[in-house]
Structure 1
Amino acid sequence: MYKVPTWRESWQTVAAEEALQRREVAAWDPETELQADSGVVLHRVQEAEEDLLISDFWSSALDAINRRLTKHLEQLKSPMGTLSNVLGNLHLDSSNESNMAPGSIPGENLVTRPCHLKCVCYDIGNFATCIIARNQRSFLLLFLEKCQIPRSHCWVYDPLFSQLEIAVLNTLGVIVLSENDGGKRSICGEPTIFYMLHCGTALYNNLLWSNWSADALSKMVIIGNSFKGLEERLLARVLQKNYPYIAKILKGLEEFFPQTSQFTDIFNDTSIHWFPVQKLDQFLMDIWAFQEEPDYQDCEGLEIIRNEKMTATDQNLL
């Protein structure tokens, strides 16, 4: 026979259920869950690094980077040698990032006092969920290690980063920028490598505008979409109107990247770009006098998320 519960029994049942719910809520800690998820993503990044390390692509890419960066550093009058020896002799030190004054002589900086080789990474993608972005992130980490660039000298930004990805990047030791500068970032006289795979064309154009001088460009290396490929795909009038700095610099750069059967979906159309002083010195002064800030109001198919503001905090970080 069914017994109707008394009011006291009903109250006790409700109280027990409420207590159970409170325990469940207390057990769910967002920070704890974030840490657990971060561990999963870090493990996946490590697995991607291991896969890259044993690939033919990595050995070919490292050799290509070795050759181009060694040439780049030679033109800055750095010591001769292999990539690891050359970069190792730069005495990288994260304790003081103001030793190199803007506009100073490149050779003097690298030979007579510490040089702070930097790396800036744009738009790497959602590596927590996308295997292509994860492989690109793993390549960056291996690149920093092989080139002996401290992770504290690497700044990263993507407007699509999730809180989980920001937490992972903080754990990895790189610096995550909080504001979108649209690629308008000056190197401030310090040798800088920009890692920008599959970025919008405007981002490269903005970067060139922000460093539009022979002195600044000679200190830069860009690992990203092939500029020659852009020239082939875009009509000349479109390139010159919408992306004038890319159009003007084509004769002042050299680019190369190994083509292998591996990771073709990840590093396709990617090149290492550097700017030999000999080529830059051949430009007429009129080219350098052109300093108009890019304006993409009439540009169709713009592949860039713009933000007009950049905080003083982010400016100071660099």
Structure 2
Amino acid sequence: MAAVAEALEPWSTVAPRRKRAAGRRPRRDGGQARGPQAEPEADSEAVLRRLREAEEDLRISDFCHSALETITQCLRKQLEQLQALAEALGRLQLDLSPGGSGEPLPMSAFPVKCVCYGLGNFASCVTARTQLAFMLLFLETCQIPRSHCWVYDPLFSQTEVSVLTSLGVTVLSENEEGKRSVHGQPTAFYMPHCGTALYNNLLWSNWSADALSRVVIIGNSFRGLQERLLTRILKENYPYVAKILQGLEELPLPQTPRYTDAFNDTSVHWFPLLRLEALPRELWASREEPDYQNCEDLEMIRKPTHCAGQV
């Protein structure tokens, strides 16, 4: 347990200094927000200044402190799980080595990556800017280097790409549609108010107990999706969300009037390995890629497709 405690120490939450719709629909107006939170897009320096202000407002809020506690609690549990697995594998390696002279696996801390989808136009939308500011505080609190963070939204303007690059995160050049595998690396997916198809695609891309045990999703409440969608629609259109409901642990972020637009219906989801391994074996056998041909309200911008023979 001492090794586990040492590995977990960097995850201590930093103490603070002194219902929007659940699915983010693709905007048809070029990404410009409307209503009282809409602002004209400014230049990079002005956007950075507004972002810093949003970050400092969040930093001193009770919401931020409580929300970060919730997220780090899930990450801590995941790290404990991976640490225990590594120790078990180390002991197995010793047992299988001739004469028991094998070297145990290293007990180094597990570096965590962050992938963010669906922020929207934070240069002109207060809600999106608040969500980005919270992500930066999350990276800081969990000591995830910004160089280990990848961000994408098909609606980003050139100004927003420039701002994100200056912040030290990597802006993806391709619309992955959420289909990113963790490749054995613990990864936190920050997906505030994304469409259900993005979560479904992400689950499909990591459809194994080993991969999902390394995934944390900060986004729309899966339990809320289950309550709002007809069972038939959930199973037909978003089968991987439907199938994983019994294999996850969900902790809702705290609700506060000030940040309702930004974090309404938002939860942290992680996937305990024991729960995943208890699911029926046949559940993992079906891995058909989602196509959404019969989905009327997709809430996701698809990547461009090219005709056969087109360069």
Task: Bin the TM-score by the shorter chain.
Answer: 0.7 to 0.9
Give 1:39 shift: 0.8
CA RMSD of aligned residues (A): 2.1
Equivalent pairs: percent with the same residue? 65
Q: Is the 8 A contact 1:46 1:138 kept in 2?
A: yes
| Matching of residues 110-259 of structure 1 within 5 Å | 111-113=106-108, 115-259=110-254
Alignment counterpart, residue 275 of structure 1, candidates 267, 271, 278 = 271
Aligned-partner Cα distance in 1 for 2:105–2:155: 36
Q: Is the 8 A contact 2:217 2:269 kept in 1?
A: yes
AA paired with 2:284?
W
1:31 counterpart residue number: none
AA paired with 1:136?
Q
Aligned-partner Cα distance in 2 for 1:263–1:109: 47
| Matching of residues 24-173 of structure 1 within 5 Å | 37-77=43-83, 111-113=106-108, 115-173=110-168
Aligned-partner Cα distance in 2 for 1:55–1:41: 21
Distance change in 2, residues 1:113/1:63 (3 Å): closer
Give 1:115 shift: 3.6
Give 1:113 shift: 4.9
Give 1:189 shift: 0.9
Aligned-partner Cα distance in 1 for 2:255–2:81: 29
Q: Is the 8 A contact 1:52 1:58 kept in 2?
A: yes
Aligned-partner Cα distance in 1 for 2:124–2:182: 32
The TM-score with structure 2 as length reference comes to 0.76
Q: Which has the higher contact order (CA 8 A, sep 6+)?
A: 2
Q: Is the 8 A contact 2:221 2:252 kept in 1?
A: no
- Aligned-partner SS, 2:147: helix
Alignment counterpart, residue 299 of structure 1, candidates 273, 292, 295 = 295
- Aligned-partner SS, 1:155: strand
Unaligned runs of 5+ in 1: 1-35, 80-107, 310-318
- Aligned-partner SS, 1:304: coil
Q: Is the 8 A contact 2:209 2:277 kept in 1?
A: yes
Distance change in 2, residues 1:114/1:74 (3 Å): closer
- Aligned-partner SS, 1:215: helix
Q: Is the 8 A contact 1:209 1:245 kept in 2?
A: yes
Distance change in 2, residues 1:306/1:145 (3 Å): same
Give 1:112 shift: 3.7
1:222-273 CA-to-partner distances (Å, cap 9, x unmatched) read 0000000000000001000000000000000011123232311110010000
Aligned-partner Cα distance in 2 for 1:129–1:302: 24
Aligned-partner Cα distance in 1 for 2:186–2:106: 13
1:10-65 CA-to-partner distances (Å, cap 9, x unmatched) read xxxxxxxxxxxxxxxxxxxxxxxxxx811110000000000001111011111111
Distance change in 2, residues 1:218/1:277 (3 Å): same
Give 1:116 shift: 3.1
Aligned-partner Cα distance in 2 for 1:163–1:224: 25
Aligned-partner Cα distance in 2 for 1:134–1:110: 42
- Aligned-partner SS, 1:255: strand
Q: Is the 8 A contact 1:109 1:115 kept in 2?
A: no
Give 1:68 shift: 1.5
Distance change in 2, residues 1:51/1:78 (3 Å): farther
1:132-179 CA-to-partner distances (Å, cap 9, x unmatched) read 000000000010011000000000000000000000001000000011
AA paired with 2:178?
G
Q: Larger Cα Rg: Structure 1 or Structure 2?
A: 1
- Aligned-partner SS, 1:137: helix
AA paired with 1:37?
D
Q: Is the 8 A contact 1:120 1:194 kept in 2?
A: yes
- Aligned-partner SS, 2:259: coil
Q: Is the 8 A contact 2:253 2:263 kept in 1?
A: no
Give 1:114 shift: 6.3
1:98-138 CA-to-partner distances (Å, cap 9, x unmatched) read xxxxxxxxxx9994456431000001010000000000000
- Aligned-partner SS, 1:256: strand
Q: Is the 8 A contact 1:77 1:110 kept in 2?
A: no
Aligned-partner Cα distance in 2 for 1:114–1:55: 30
Q: How many residues align?
A: 247
